[in-house]
C-alpha cells in the first residue's frame, strides 16, 4: 500500500501536488475546528452570503432583525417574481402543467402513484423497491408524512455510516453499509417526483413531505459531519435537487409553518462552498468532476442571490469547457466507456446548455457542440427503442429522474438533445414528458423518424451493426479511462438485440463495495460475451475501482454495407497469447462469430453467451435454440462445429447464469458456454441463425490449404441449412503480397468470404472483404479489381 502511494506521488506534477497539499491542509484545519466546536446550522449565516441586490433589501432587513418568517415570505415573493434562470420557475407553472396534462393524460395518475409511495415512506432507489429508512417502520402503515428518516442508514444491509468528520468516514467499508444506497436517498432526487405530483395535482401533501424531509435532513446532517458530506458529487446532485425544490415549492399562496427557504439557502450555500473547496480534480472516474462543475455552474447562473455565484459559475464553466475535449472522444463517446456514464455526461451538458441559453451565457455554443457529439454517439449506441446495452458499470442513477424512467432508456435524453441541437433524427419516439420539464412549455419538439444504419465510434471503440430490429454492439477499444474505475473485463465482447428484444446481454454490475467477490465476478471476462482462456480474466481487478492488469483492444477491419457488416479485432489481455475475433453479420439472416486463439501450447478456451432472462433455451446436438413466447420470429439458433456446449442457470459454483438488470438486484438467467481444449493456434466458431424458414441444421469445419508463407492464419466452415448451404471463410495474409488460398472447393484471396448456394441457384448470396477473386471448379464467384469496402450480400441474389 505504501509503495503504491509513493509511486503515485512520483507521477504527480507540481500543480497536482500543490492542489492536493492545499486541500489536505484545509481539511485538517476544519477537522481541528470541529474538535473545538461542532459546526451547526445558523440562519444568521444567510445574511453574510447574500449578494447586495436591491431586490433583496427587504430580505436583508428581516434577516438582520432575525424575523425568519418575514425573511421567508420575502424570499418566496422574490422567487415567484424573478426572471426564469433555471429549467422551470413558478411563473412557468400554469403553461407547463396545461401542456403536460393535454399531451400526457396519464401523467397525473402516474405522478400520484409515485408520490404517494414517497409520502408513505417507501422509496424506489437503484434496483430496490419499497426501501424504508424510518427504522422499524412497517411498510403497510398509513401514508402519513413523517420526519423520522434515518439519513445515514442502508436498510438493505441494516447498517449505518458513522456521524464522523466527513473526510474520515470509511464509506467504501461494507461495515458502513452500501454507500450507494445511502447516497441515492440523500440526493433528494425524489423531491422532483414530489414536485411533479404537486404541480400536476395541487395536493399539498407532496409539498409538505419535501419540506418535512428538508427539516429532518438539516437536523441529521450538520455541516461537514457524516457520510453525506463525504462525496462532492453527491453534494452536487443534492444541490441540483434543492434548486428544483426552490422553483417547485416557492408558493406565495401558502402560509408556511417554517422559514424553510431561509434554511434551504443556508444549507445550499454551505454545500456549494464545500464542493468548491474539494473538487474531484486529478480523480477518476472524472464524471464526478463534471457533476460537481455542473452544480457550481447551474447554481451560479440560476441563483444570483448568492454573493459567490459569479465565482462558482466561472469555476464550473471553466471545468465543463476544459473537460469537453478530455472526457468526450472525437467520435462523441465518453472516455469512461460505460453506456450509463455516457448518458450521465449527455444529461450534464444538456442541462448546462439549457441554463446557458436561459441566462445568455456565451458558453452555450461550446455546450451545444458537446451535446451534439454526445447525442450522436448515444443514438448509435441505443437501439430503435432508445435502449442501450449495459456496457461497463451501471449504478442505476440518473440526473433528472422526474418520472422514474429506467436508466437504460435514453428516450428522454435523446429527445432533449434532439431539440437542443436541432437534430430531430436523434429522437427515437415522441418526446416524453421529461422533455417538457427540461425544455419548457413553449418547446418546439418535432420527431422525424429515420432509420439508423450501422456505424462505429472508432475512438471510443464501439462498433454497431444494425438492420431492422437487430442491434449488435461490439467492444473493440481500450479498457477504460484513467484507472478504468467503471470498466469491465469485456474486450471483444458483444451485446445483441433481436427484433427489438435484448438477446445477448452484458449481465450488469450488481454492486460496488458491499460484496467484493460479486463485484469482481460481475466485471470478469466470464460474465461477458467473449472468450476466456485457461479460466483467466483478460483484465484483473485490484479493489472495486482499480485494475492490476488490463486488456486493450485494437480493430483491424470494420466494413459496413447494405447487406452485411464485418468486424475484425484483437486484444492483448492473455499475452503472449492473442485472442482475435471476427464477427460477420448478414442482415436479418446470420451472425457468425469466429474466435482465434493464436499462440502455442495447450489451452482451455471458453466462449460465453449470456441471455436475457426473457429467452428460453432448448439444447440440440452441437448447439441450442433460443425462443421468446408469442412471436415465431423471436427465434435464434446457435450452432457450433465443435467443442462442448454447457448450460448454466443460477449456478453458484461457477457464478454463471446470473444477471443484474439494475444496481442492487441480481436475477437468474441462462449462460451458454462453448468450451474447447486444444493446442494453439485453434479456432472456435459460433453461428447464430435468424431465419425461421431456413434454420441451420449443421456446421462443419472445411480444410484450408495455402502455399507456405501465404497465410498467418485461416479457417472455414460449411453451414448446412434447410434450404441452402453457406460457406464462410476467414484469413489473414502473412505478408503484404496477397496470394491465393483454398478452403474446400473455394479458391480466393479474400480476408473474408461468404457465399450461399441453394437448389437451382449455385450463387444465391455473396459477401467479401478485401477480395479480387473467388472461384470454385465450376463457378466464378468474384473477379474484379481490389476494393476498399465490402461486397454486398443483400436480400436479392448476387449477380
The 3-class secondary structure across 320-372, one letter per residue, is: HHHHHHHHECCCCCECCCCHHHHHHHHHHHHHHHHHHHHCCCCCHHHHHHHHH
C-alpha cell read off for 352: 448546462
* pLDDT tops 80 at residue 1: no
Angle at CA 554, nearest 5°, toward 595 and 729?
A: 35
Residue 146 has what pLDDT? 46
Residue 21 has what pLDDT? 85
Tell me the per-residue pLDDT of 222-240, one tens digit each, with 9 for 90 and over. 999 999 999 999 999 999 9
Instruction: Say if CB 417 and CB 438 are below 8 A apart.
Output: no
C-alpha cell read off for 513: 463495495
* pLDDT tops 90 at residue 283: no
Check the CA dihedral 270-271-276-277 and report its sign.
positive
Angle between helices 190-201 and 204-220 (to 10 degrees): 150
Tell me the per-residue pLDDT of 20-34, one tens digit each, with 9 for 90 and over. 888 889 899 888 888
Angle between helices 309-327 and 287-302 (to 10 degrees): 150
- State whether residue 472 is helix, strand or coil: strand
Residue 549 has what pLDDT? 93
Domain assignments of the chain as residue spans, ordered by start: 1-38, 47-278, 455-692
Mean pLDDT for 672-691 is 96
| Average confidence score pLDDT of the chain | 91
Mean pLDDT for 7-18 is 72
Query: In CATH, what is the architecture of 455-692?
Result: Distorted Sandwich (2.70)
Contacts for 176 with CB less than 8 Å, ≥ 6 apart: 154, 159, 160, 161, 162, 169, 170, 227
Residue 786 has what pLDDT? 37
Query: In CATH, what is the architecture of 47-278?
Result: Alpha/alpha barrel (1.50)
Greatest alpha-carbon pair distance for the chain in Å reads: 101
Residue 628 vs residues 473, 636, 671, 790: alpha-carbon distances, Å: 21, 9, 16, 33
Residue that has been written with the C-alpha cell 449565516 in this structure: 45
Beta-carbon count within 10 A of 474 CB: 28
What whole-number distance in Å separates Cα of residue 241 and Cα of residue 473?
A: 34
Tell me the per-residue pLDDT of 126-147, one tens digit each, with 9 for 90 and over. 999 999 998 544 333 444 444 5
Tell me the per-residue pLDDT of 392-434, one tens digit each, with 9 for 90 and over. 999 888 999 999 999 899 999 999 999 999 999 999 989 999 9
Tell me the per-residue pLDDT of 453-466, one tens digit each, with 9 for 90 and over. 999 999 999 999 99
What whole-number distance in Å separates Cα of residue 408 and Cα of residue 412?
A: 11
Mean pLDDT for 203-209 is 97
Lowest mean pLDDT among 566-570, 580-584, 604-608, 633-637: 633-637
Instruction: Say if CB 149 and CB 134 are below 8 A apart.
Output: yes
Instruction: Say if CB 661 and CB 522 are below 8 A apart.
Output: no
Mean pLDDT for 441-450 is 79
CA dihedral 486, 487, 488, 489 (to 10 degrees): -150
Q: Where are the beta strands (DSSP E) in 80-161?
A: 123-125, 128-131, 153-154, 159-160
Residue 791 has what pLDDT? 40
Mean pLDDT for 94-100 is 96
CA distance from start to end of the chain: 66
Instruction: Say if CB 609 and CB 643 are below 8 A apart.
Output: no
Mean pLDDT for 539-559 is 94
Residue 485 has what pLDDT? 87
β-bridge partners, 113: none
Mean pLDDT for 512-525 is 95
The alpha carbon of residue 492 and the mean position of all alpha carbons in its chain are separated, in whole angstroms, by 18
**Is it true that the peptide bond before 576 is cis, omega within 30 degrees of 0?**
yes
What whole-number distance in Å separates Cα of residue 559 and Cα of residue 551?
A: 24
CA atoms within 13 A on the CB side of 506: 31
Residue 784 has what pLDDT? 63
* pLDDT tops 60 at residue 2: no
Q: Which of 131, 174, 177, 175 is CA-nearest to residue 152?
A: 177
User: The whole model's pTM is what?
Assistant: 0.93
Amino acid at each position: 500500500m505504501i509503495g503504491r502511494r509513493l509511486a503515485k506521488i512520483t507521477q504527480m506534477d507540481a500543480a497536482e501536488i500543490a492542489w492536493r497539499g492545499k486541500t489536505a491542509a484545509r481539511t485538517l484545519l476544519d477537522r481541528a475546528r470541529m474538535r473545538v466546536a461542532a459546526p451547526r446550522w445558523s440562519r444568521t449565516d444567510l445574511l453574510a452570503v447574500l449578494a447586495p441586490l436591491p431586490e433583496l433589501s427587504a430580505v436583508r432587513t428581516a434577516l438582520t432583525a432575525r424575523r425568519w418568517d418575514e425573511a421567508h415570505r420575502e424570499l418566496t415573493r422574490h422567487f415567484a417574481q424573478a426572471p426564469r434562470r433555471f429549467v422551470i420557475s413558478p411563473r412557468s407553472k400554469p403553461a407547463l402543467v396545461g401542456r403536460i396534462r393535454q399531451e400526457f393524460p396519464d401523467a397525473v395518475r402516474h405522478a400520484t402513484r409515485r408520490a404517494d409511495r414517497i409520502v408513505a415512506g417507501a422509496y424506489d432507489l437503484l434496483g430496490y423497491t419499497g426501501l424504508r429508512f424510518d427504522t422499524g417502520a412497517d411498510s403497510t402503515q398509513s401514508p402519513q408524512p413523517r420526519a423520522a428518516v434515518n439519513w445515514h442508514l442502508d436498510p438493505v444491509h441494516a447498517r449505518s455510516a458513522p456521524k464522523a468528520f466527513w473526510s474520515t468516514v470509511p464509506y467504501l467499508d461494507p461495515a458502513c453499509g452500501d454507500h450507494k444506497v445511502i447516497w441515492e436517498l440523500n440526493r433528494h432526487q425524489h423531491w422532483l417526483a414530489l414536485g411533479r405530483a404537486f404541480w400536476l395535482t395541487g395536493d399539498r401533501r407532496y409539498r409538505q413531505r419535501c419540506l418535512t424531509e428538508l427539516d429532518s435532513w438539516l437536523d441529521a446532517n450538520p455541516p461537514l459531519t457524516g457520510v453525506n458530506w463525504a462525496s462532492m458529487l453527491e453534494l452536487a446532485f443534492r444541490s441540483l435537487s434543492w434548486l428544483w425544490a426552490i422553483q417547485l415549492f416557492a408558493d406565495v399562496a401558502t402560509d408556511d409553518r417554517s422559514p424553510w427557504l431561509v434554511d434551504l439557502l443556508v444549507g445550499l450555500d454551505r454545500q456549494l462552498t464545500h464542493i468548491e473547496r474539494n473538487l474531484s480534480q486529478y480523480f477518476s472516474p472524472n464524471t464526478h468532476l463534471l457533476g460537481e462543475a455542473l452544480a457550481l455552474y447551474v447554481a451560479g447562473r440560476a441563483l444570483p442571490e448568492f454573493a459567490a455565484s459569479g465565482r462558482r459559475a466561472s469555476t464550473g464553466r471553466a471545468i465543463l469547457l476544459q473537460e469537453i475535449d478530455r472526457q468526450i472522444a472525437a467520435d462523441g463517446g465518453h472516455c469512461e466507456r460505460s453506456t450509463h456514464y455516457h448518458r450521465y455526461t449527455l444529461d450534464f451538458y444538456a442541462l448546462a446548455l439549457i441554463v446557458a441559453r436561459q441566462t445568455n451565457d456565451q458558453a452555450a455554443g461550446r455546450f451545444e457542440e458537446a451535446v451534439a457529439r454526445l447525442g450522436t454517439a448515444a443514438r448509435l449506441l441505443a437501439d430503435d427503442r432508445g435502449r442501450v446495452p449495459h456496457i461497463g458499470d451501471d449504478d442505476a442513477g440518473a440526473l433528472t429522474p422526474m418520472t422514474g424512467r429506467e436508466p437504460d432508456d435514453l428516450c428522454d435524453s435523446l429527445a432533449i438533445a434532439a431539440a437542443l441541437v436541432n437534430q430531430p433524427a436523434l429522437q427515437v419516439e415522441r418526446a416524453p414528458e421529461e422533455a417538457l420539464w427540461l425544455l419548457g412549455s413553449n418547446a418546439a419538439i418535432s420527431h422525424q423518424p429515420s432509420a439508423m444504419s450501422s456505424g462505429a465510434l472508432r475512438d471510443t471503440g464501439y462498433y454497431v451493426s444494425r438492420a431492422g430490429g437487430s442491434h449488435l454492439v461490439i467492444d473493440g477499444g481500450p479498457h477504460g479511462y484513467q484507472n478504468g474505475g467503471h470498466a469491465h473485463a469485456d474486450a471483444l465482447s458483444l451485446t445483441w438485440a433481436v427484433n427489438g428484444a435484448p438477446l445477448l446481454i452484458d449481465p450488469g454490475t450488481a454492486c460496488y463495495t458491499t460484496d467484493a467477490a460479486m463485484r469482481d465476478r460481475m466485471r470478469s471476462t466470464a460474465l461477458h460475451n467473449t472468450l476466456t482462456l485457461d479460466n483467466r480474466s483478460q483484465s484483473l481487478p485490484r479493489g472495486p475501482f482499480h485494475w492490476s492488469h488490463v486488456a486493450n483492444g485494437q480493430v483491424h477491419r470494420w466494413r459496413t454495407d447494405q447487406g452485411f457488416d464485418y468486424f475484425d479485432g484483437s486484444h492483448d489481455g492473455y499475452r503472449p497469447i492473442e485472442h482475435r475475433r471476427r464477427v460477420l453479420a448478414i442482415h436479418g439472416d446470420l451472425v457468425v462469430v469466429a474466435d482465434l486463439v493464436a499462440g502455442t501450447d495447450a489451452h482451455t478456451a471458453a466462449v460465453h453467451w449470456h441471455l436475457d432472462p426473457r429467452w428460453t433455451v432448448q439444447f440440440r446436438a452441437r448447439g441450442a435454440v433460443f425462443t421468446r413466447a408469442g412471436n415465431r420470429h423471436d427465434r435464434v439458433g446457435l450452432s457450433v462445429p465443435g467443442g462442448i456446449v454447457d448450460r448454466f442457470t443460477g449456478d453458484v459454483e461457477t457464478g454463471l447464469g446470473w444477471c443484474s438488470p439494475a444496481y442492487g438486484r441480481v436475477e437468474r438467467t441462462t449462460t451458454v458456454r462453448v468450451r474447447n481444449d486444444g493446442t494453439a493456434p485453434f479456432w472456435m466458431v459460433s453461428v447464430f441463425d435468424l431465419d425461421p424458414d431456413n434454420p441451420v441444421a449443421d456446421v462443419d469445419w472445411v480444410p484450408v490449404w495455402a502455399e507456405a508463407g501465404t497465410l498467418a492464419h485461416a479457417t472455414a466452415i460449411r453451414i448446412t441449412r434447410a434450404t441452402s448451404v453457406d460457406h464462410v471463410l476467414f484469413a489473414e495474409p502473412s505478408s503484404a503480397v496477397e496470394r491465393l488460398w483454398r478452403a474446400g472447393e473455394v479458391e480466393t484471396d479474400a480476408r473474408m468470404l461468404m457465399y450461399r448456394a441453394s437448389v437451382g441457384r449455385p450463387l444465391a448470396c455473396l459477401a467479401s472483404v478485401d477480395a479480387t477473386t473467388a472461384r470454385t471448379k465450376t463457378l466464378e464467384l468474384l473477379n474484379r479489381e481490389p476494393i476498399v469496402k465490402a461486397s454486398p450480400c443483400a436480400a436479392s441474389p448476387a449477380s
